[in-house]
Amino acid sequence: MTFKGWILAATALATTALTATLPDAAMAQDGEKLRFVVVSHIGSNDPNMNWLTMAMEEFGKKYPDVEAEYISTNNYSIQEHVRLLEQAIATRPDGIAVPIVSPDAFEGPLRRAIESGIPVVAFNIADGRPEGERIPYVTYVGGDELLTGRKLGEYALSQVEAGVVPAPTRVVCASHDSAHEGLKKRCAGMREVMEASGAKFDELFIGAEPATARNTLQSYLSANTDTNYIFTVAGWSAPWAWGVANEMGLSPDVDMEGVTVLTVDEGPVSIEGVRQGHVLATNSQGFWLQGYAPLEWLYWNVKHGYAPQQDILTGPIIITKENADKWSDLVRSVFGEEAYNQQNTW
């Protein structure tokens, strides 16, 4: 064998060895890049999109043989989301990751996609129906929204027992999107726990427009003076709720008086709300993992036929006064110091 032949043989051997041992060096069988599409309702109107897109960048580094696209709605519209989904399916991607914001609306397009051989991974919001009835996606990666409401409620009750906050008499779940299945489940989880403790519970659609939301919430609080817990199902609406209660003299900070505010998300507003004593607790649903893991499961499914036997939960993790400092450090390291401070609107 000539010297050139030795070099070629050694290169071929090394390439084979690397391909066999390192998944990140694997290439699609036909030599073309795989194309996965994430069709999300978390758009540029939602700061949580940063978590997902940053996680996708990391995925891109590890799997250079995959082209992952992120498309999203920028308003709270299921119709718009379905339209984007159908557009994505029409481009025949190798895999789709999508939150099941509305099982009814998504069922048709997703079943057609799956039947035509496109694997689907649900993320962020699962199809909440029983196993045999739900859309037959590969798996679900995300938080459990019912559990989010339930665990936050249970934490609140533990703080009632500890003498930190008053016992709930009436709880209002303030939602900005009345059709969002995940938000409804957050409210339902909280309702379950709070009603069991003897408190009354209402769901209130406040809308996403700040002035309208404040107007609506103030009206509700004026008419239901026994309300002493507000659960906002978006982190950015927590300061609005706190502000309305504060203006009404309802003492909304975390203490034994007046109103107690609970919220969601691991964004700067939610975490700083907890740290500054405005909010009792918030949660993390592992947003970063929700941007990364669905794509990895799509990859493993396409390449190796893997499918997990049950849903993969990335949350909820309850963020309280005890662990909020660590969360603050973590989020600062992801968002950057300046962005973190700018997004803290308290």
Partner 1 sequence: MQTPLQALVRSQSFGAVIGVVLMLAVFSIVDFSGWWRSQTLANVAHFSAILGLVAMGQALVIITKEIDLSVGSVYGLTGVAFITFEPQYGVGGAIILALLIAALVGAVQGLLVVKGKLPSMIVTLGGLFAARGLIYVWTGGSVNNFSQAARINPLTRLFGGELFGIEAAIFWMIGLCIALNIMLWGTRFGNRLLATGGAQDSAESRGVRSDHVKIATFTLCALLAGFAGIVTLADKPQTHVTLGDLMELEAIAAAVIGGCLLSGGRGSLVGAVLGAFIITSFRYELIALGAPSSWFITFVGVVLIVAVIFNQSLARRAGHSV
Q: Which residues bind partner 1 (CB under 8 A)?
A: 43-50, 74-75, 176, 178, 204-212, 214-216, 218-220, 222-223, 236-237, 239-240, 243, 248, 267, 269, 341-346
Find the shortest distance in angstroms from Cβ 257 to partner 1: 19
Nearer to partner 1, 28 or 250 (CB): 250
CB-nearer residue toward partner 1: 150 or 180? 180
At 67, list the tokens: 């082209």
Q: How far apart are CA 310 and CA 139, in angstroms?
A: 7
Q: Considering only CA atoms, which of 125, 114, 241 is closest in space to residue 183? A: 125
Least distance between partner 1 and beta carbon 218 (Å): 5
Shortest reach from residue 7's CB to partner 1, in Å = 49
Least separation in angstroms between CB 245 and partner 1: 13
DSSP 263: -
Query: Of 230, 294, 290, whose CA–CA distance to 263 is shortest?
Result: 230
* Minimum gap (Å) between residue 210 Cβ and partner 1: 5
Q: Residue 244's CB: how many other CB atoms inside 10 A?
A: 25
Amino acid at 226: D
23 vs 207 by CB, closer to partner 1: 207
CB of 335 to partner 1, least distance (A): 10
Minimal distance, residue 338 CB to partner 1, in Å: 10
Tokens for 196, please give them: 């069991």
Q: How far is 174 from 224, CA to CA, in rounded Å?
A: 14
Secondary structure letter of residue 96 according to DSSP = E
Cα three-residue angle 317-252-174, rounded to 5 degrees: 60
| Residue 147 or 241 with smaller CB distance to partner 1 | 241
- Residue 240 or 299 having the CB closest to partner 1: 240
Question: Any bridge partners for residue 72, and if so which?
Answer: 40
Does residue 37 sit in helix, strand or coil?
Answer: strand
Kindly compute the dihedral angle of the four CA atoms of residues 99, 102, 105, 107, in this order, to the nearest 10 degrees.
Answer: 60
The phi and psi torsions of 5 (rounded to 5 degrees) equal -65, -40
Q: Which residues contact 43 (CB under 8 A, 6 or more apart)?
A: 49, 72, 73, 74, 75
Our CB check for partner 1 shows the closer of 151 and 191 to be: 191
Residue 70's H or E segment, with its range, is strand 66-72
The two most distant CA atoms of the chain are separated, in Å, by 91
**Calpha distance 90→15 (Å, rounded):** 36
Q: Looking at beta carbons only, is 109 or 268 nearer to partner 1?
A: 268
Nearest distance from residue 86's CB to partner 1, in Å? 20
Task: Rank residues 282 and 301 by Cβ distance to partner 1 and give the closer one.
Answer: 282
